[in-house]
Amino acid sequence: MNGRVVMAAAAATLATTLSVGCAPYTLRGKVVEGDVSFIAVVDASDPRLDGPGLSGALLTLQTDPQRLNRKTVGSAVSGADGSFSIPVNEVGAGLLIYDMGLKARKQGYSPTEQFFRLPPANKRVLVLLAPGAATTTGDRSTEPDAEELLRRFRPPRGDAPPP
């Protein structure tokens, strides 16, 4: 009888652990205007989270941002008050240690990117964006194409260095 009680308790503990590990985790934060563009993990009571926010900022969250096999796990657009939430559907998110990278961009502001450990639920992400000339449209019409870059950096045919 005691063996069954111990097994039942162990099974209940395992089931609870697995259900908590599968509970959805959401990264929450706010985008505000600042003098410089940067991203910081702050306490949920940080007064900067109560100030006016920037709407329409595009946020992209990736796991293992410094590796070639990084994975985009979510994205969001900041709301009217600058707040955002990005669900993270990775096993153990919020419990296990995950290295993350967050990119933030908004038309008319300098973009920013920061790497950090996925914070616990009682922390928030504060994104500061400084006014600047960056765009979120991906328009690269002012950037030189590959052929132009080759013309600029390839030595002239007669002046090629010896092999």
Q: What is the mean pLDDT of residues 29-46?
A: 93
Report the sign of the C-alpha dihedral through residues 81, 130, 107, 39, in that order.
negative
User: Hey, what domains does the chain have and what are their CATH numbers?
Assistant: 25-138 (2.60.40.180)
User: Which residue has 């006016």 as its token pair?
Assistant: 52
Q: What is the mean pLDDT of residues 62-71?
A: 79
Element (H, E) at 126: strand 123-129
pLDDT digits 0-9 by tens, 98-150: 788 899 999 999 999 999 988 888 899 999 999 987 544 454 444 455 565 55
Q: Residue 62: which residues within 8 A CB-CB, separation 6 or more?
A: 70, 71, 72, 73, 100, 101, 102, 103
Nearest CA-CA partner of 65 in 141, 126, 118 = 118
Radius of gyration of the chain (CA): 23
DSSP 51: S
Element (H, E) at 74: strand 71-77
- How many angstroms separate the CA atoms of 9 and 19, rounded? 15
Mean pLDDT over each residue of the chain, to the nearest integer: 78
Q: What is the mean pLDDT of residues 154-162?
A: 56
Confidence check: pLDDT of 60 > 80: yes
Q: pLDDT confidence of 159, banded at 50, 70, 90?
A: low
Ramachandran region of residue 82, left (φ > 0), alpha (ψ -120 to 50) or beta? left
